[in-house]
Amino acid sequence: MVATRSSRILMLGVSLALLALLALLAGCAGSAKQPPGDADDYFARNLPGMPVSWNPMMSPVDNPILQTRSLHNPPSELVGQALLAQYERWAGTPYRLGGTSERGIDCSALVQNVFSETFRLELPRSTGEQVHQGALVPREELQVGDLVFFRPPGPYDHVGIYVGDGYFLHASTSQGVMLSELDNVYWQRHYWQARRTLEPNMLAQRVASAGEG
């Protein structure tokens, strides 16, 4: 009788242990992470701060998903989206010293055009004048919409617009309008200073007013 009761207790203990082991295995299998899919989109690959739904062929004004999300997005994201929409328009435009159109444009003219169309803010035409706009900003405190200046070899300084995540929009003399990394060895070497014309919340307000007008 005692042996039978001990056997039952032993069998019950083994059964409970097996059930616990099966539950543990099932839990591990259910929590396994799926490998991330390859991003087909340039912005998804290089600008992780942008929404997953971002379509490089659709501006924030045309994209109803972004319009809805923009109601809750911080100003820096709204400004970044607007700047990337400008990048779509100008991407690949060849560099031309003194140029101001899609046939050819130089760095300061691109900055002037983008600020005028996106923020309704008129900046001077030349890099030498733009570098005196707004307030000086330390590189480690850059925010979306800040102007970034460089002093590469040659007679001319260079200017671009910081779009976030370490990238800036500019008219490259070799490749035309493009996005480049501030941490690129070349741009690191020739970095000069940054200027903030307006705070991101003010730029975001101007983006909204430009869309309404």
Please name the residues in contact with 106: beta carbons below 8 A apart, sequence gap of 6 or more: 95, 96, 97, 98, 99, 100, 171
Say what the pLDDT of residue 209 is: 82
42-212 classified as CATH 3.90.1720.10 = yes
Cβ 71 vs Cβ 204: under 8 Å: no
* Residue owning tokens 């616990």: 20
Cβ 146 vs Cβ 153: under 8 Å: no
Catalytic residues, which ones? Answer: 107, 158, 170
Q: Is the pTM of this model over 0.95?
A: no
Say what the pLDDT of residue 39 is: 26
Ordered per-residue pLDDT tens for the chain, 213 residues: 444 544 554 454 445 444 444 433 333 333 333 332 222 333 434 444 443 333 433 333 344 334 434 445 689 999 999 999 999 999 999 999 999 999 999 999 999 999 999 999 999 999 999 999 999 999 999 999 999 999 999 999 999 999 999 999 999 999 999 999 999 999 999 999 999 999 999 999 999 887 665
Say what the pLDDT of residue 20 is: 43
Say what the pLDDT of residue 97 is: 97
Say what the pLDDT of residue 166 is: 97
